Homo-oligomer: A and B are copies of this chain.
Amino acid sequence: MARTQGSHSHVTGPRIRQAALRLFARHGYAAVSMRQIASEVGLQAGALYNYTPDKQALLLSLMTGHLEDLLARSARAEGTGPAEARLEAFVRFHIAYHLDRPDEVFIAYMELRNLEPDHFAQVEALRRRYEDRLEAILAAGRDEGVFDVPDTKIATLAVIAMLTGVTTWYRPAGRLSADAVAGLYWDMVRKTVAA
């Protein structure tokens, strides 16, 4: 049994996570049962517990998975150039990444209140690490003399909120492509921090 379970878990695990993500985003964490998640992927409710100890573990895994992926990819996108080039890469990466994952973004914000305290602390630590990356770029640009940012922490939070807001209104069939939107946002961020 263990072998059979193992040989399918690399397929079933991601399918469970996808189903949980969709259902949490659609109905809210509190309103979704493990039975519903199991039914969505064609498992008996009992079998679901072979993959995850409970619904809380599933939520935590979705949130930390999202943030760890965000951290790894943003590091690659950012590169090692001067601060302004790194900031532009950060802005364009952040918009593209979040537009591709509206359910993850929605859950990451909305379901924070449903995390148990130590899980909340884990998620907040990851989010803080991502914010720290942007704050380091702003501080570097200030040191280079190309940015004027009186409070790098507040500017970090302002820029991230501005960029993430795109997910609440962007539609692929709308008047602007994702690239055009990213260009407009980069122009605004550039001016916001300009010396």
Contacts and interface: CB of A to CB of B under 8 A. Distances in A.
Q: How many copies are assembled?
A: 2
Contact of A109 (B26, B168, B188, B192): B168
Given A162-B161, A168-B109, A191-B192, A154 B26 contact: no
Contact of A151 (B150, B157, B168, B184): B184
A137 to B, nearest CB: 16
Interface in A162-195: 162, 164-166, 168-169, 176, 181, 184-185, 187-188, 191-194
B161 A165 contact: yes
Contact of A176 (B154, B160, B166, B191): B154
Given A30-B31, A150-B184, 17 more contacts: A28-B28, A28-B31, A31-B31, A109-B168, A110-B110, A157-B166, A158-B165, A161-B161, A161-B162, A161-B164, A161-B168, A162-B162, A165-B165, A188-B192, A191-B191, A191-B192, A191-B193
